[in-house]
Chain A
Amino acid sequence: MIEQPNLNYVDELAGDDIEFRNQFITIIKDEFPLEKEEYHGHVTNNRVKATAEIVHKLKHKFNILGMENSYKLAVAYEMELLDGKNGSESKFNEVLETIEEYIKTI
């Protein structure tokens, strides 16, 4: 079961600053789909190092969205990739799908 993303961290930073909250949501809605697409492009084309790079980038968003277990999964996956393995790929892909669904709702 994949944990659900949340905006607790962003809300804490924003406080009463609604403008920041909205701005952040706009940015993540723009940035995440592009990074997800880039990730799948690298996987499809078997670009292992580039895949590890984008996994590294994506994992920050897991952190920001309060997904601690998914972050740990991404850390492990990144290491696997650099080691020529990909055992965590399907779970990582599930996390991406979960986030994609979530950001449609915010």
Chain B
Amino acid sequence: MNCIIIDDEATARAIVRQLCSKIPELDIIEEFDNAISAIKFLNQQNIEIIFLDIHMPGFSGVDFVQTLKDPPNIVLTTSDTDFAITAYEYECIVDYLVKPITQERFEKCITKISGLASKPPRVISESKQDAVEGEDLYINIDRRLIKLKLNEILVIEAKGDYIDVKTEKEEYRVHTTLKKIKEKLPEKLFLQIHRSYIINFTKIIDIEDNSVLIAKNVVPISRSNRPELMRRLNLL
């Protein structure tokens, strides 16, 4: 079973790694000292068990669990027994190991997981074109991951080392490039119409000469991107 460890303490990670090493069917694929890095990793890998510390600065284990769309089996590793009741509100949390974890208790946990009906591995979408309306995108702002519904994004504008993401309700400044976010967006919904702008194609109100109107945003269309925009339009 492929596993990852998320704990901000190196000593705690070493202990879980040692506990795992005595169980041949466990394979530690990666370790993380913060949950945000793990989320990025989980978007690319199929993992069957996450050993997760609850109490981490900035972005807690509970925050992490809430951000996972299709979580694997999660085993909480913590000294906070206070979280036990909260933990069992999440179907994906299959056990709760109180530190310091003994080998015997750890093995019991793995036996329990092995006995659970095995969850089919998550299928990572191979193509961004598979994305449909209603899917989400997480943006990292001040170490918080904020969920945006793709179909609520109107316009994304490049601003130097940042991008401005304008949605129907809010505007967010994110430290990334237009190129990087473009790779995450489904082509069915989004189109780059200028070197500094990506638009949600479905939100266009009208097109006039060299600009499109999306909500209250007038967005320029570059000459090179205009043919692709016109090709996509359902012209009468």
Contact = CB atoms under 8 A, between A and B. Distances in A.
A60 B99 contact: yes
B19 A57 contact: no
Interface string A23-34: 110011011000
Interface stretch (B5-13, B87-95, B145-153, B208-216): B5-13
B28 to A, nearest CB: 13
B18 A13 contact: yes
A59 B79 contact: yes
A64 interface: yes
A64 B50 CA distance: 22
Interface residues of A, number: 20
Contacts, number: 45
A9 B100 contact: yes
A78 to B, nearest CB: 10
B134 interface: no
Contact of A31 (B11, B57, B99, B102): B11
A63 B100 contact: yes
A30 B14 CA distance: 13
Given A13-B103, A60-B79, A63-B99, A20 B12 contact: no
B139 interface: no
A27 B18 contact: no
A61 interface: yes
B15 interface: yes
B14 A60 contact: no
B93 to A, nearest CB: 20
B99 A17 contact: no
B173 interface: no
Contacts of A14: 18
B55 interface: yes
B79 A64 contact: no
Contacts of B102: 12
A19 to B, nearest CB: 10
Interface in B13-44: 14-15, 18-19, 21
Contact of A64 (B15, B21, B57, B103): B15
B97 to A, nearest CB: 13
A11 to B, nearest CB: 12
A56 B78 CA distance: 11
B18 to A, nearest CB: 5
A97 interface: no
Interface in A52-77: 53, 56-57, 59-61, 63-64
A53 B12 CA distance: 16
11 contacts: A9-B100, A13-B19, A14-B18, A20-B14, A20-B21, A23-B14, A24-B11, A30-B10, A57-B8, A60-B99, A64-B11
Interface of B: 8-12, 14-15, 18-19, 21, 55, 57, 79, 99-100, 102-103
Interface of A: 9, 12-14, 17, 20, 23-24, 27-28, 30-31, 53, 56-57, 59-61, 63-64
8 closest cross-chain pairs (CB), A and B: A27-B10, A63-B100, A20-B18, A13-B18, A31-B10, A9-B100, A27-B11, A24-B14
